[in-house]
Amino acid sequence: MSSNQQFLQNLYEAFNNRELETIISVMHPDVKWANGVEGGFVYGRDAVREYWTNQYKVIQVQLLTLKFETDENNRNVVTVHQIVRDLQGNLLADTTVQQIFTIENGSIVLYEIAETETIQQMIQQTRTSNEQ
């Protein structure tokens, strides 16, 4: 496992354990972070902290790493199994997504999501499928 892969694996473990400050500490102060819930991006450590704090109030997300790759732009692409539950533990979405990290000098400067669907859209699709 490369140093970036180990770095990211540790990051996913921290995320699943809700160790928010551990993750924030490895971000560049001006990080650009994809908003996986609503779409778009949030900018800077404080905005990422607020984004996750708000997310934790309404959903629980578990990320299980499946594959690590490096793309042609030297970005780290991680394929993850993403499970989203409400606070009562009810399954809202279960999917596989690719998350893309640009790491410079040991800090995350950019986080992107390869999928175009937001978590809100995935939850709506799951609800629609369950109603049919």
Residue 116 has pLDDT above 80, yes or no: no
Distance CA 81, CA 62 (A): 8
**Rounded mean pLDDT of the chain?**
89
- Statement: residue 68 has pLDDT above 70: yes
Total structural domains in the chain? 1
Q: Are 58 and 50 in contact (CB under 8 A)?
A: no
Q: Does residue 113 register a pLDDT over 60? A: yes
User: pLDDT tens digits, residue range 5-26?
Assistant: 999 999 999 999 999 999 999 9
Q: Which residue range(s) make up the domain with 54?
A: 3-131
By three-state DSSP, how is residue 14 classified? helix
Secondary structure (DSSP) of 70-118: E-TTS-EEEEEEEEEEETT--EEEEEEEEEEEEEETTEEEEEEES-S--
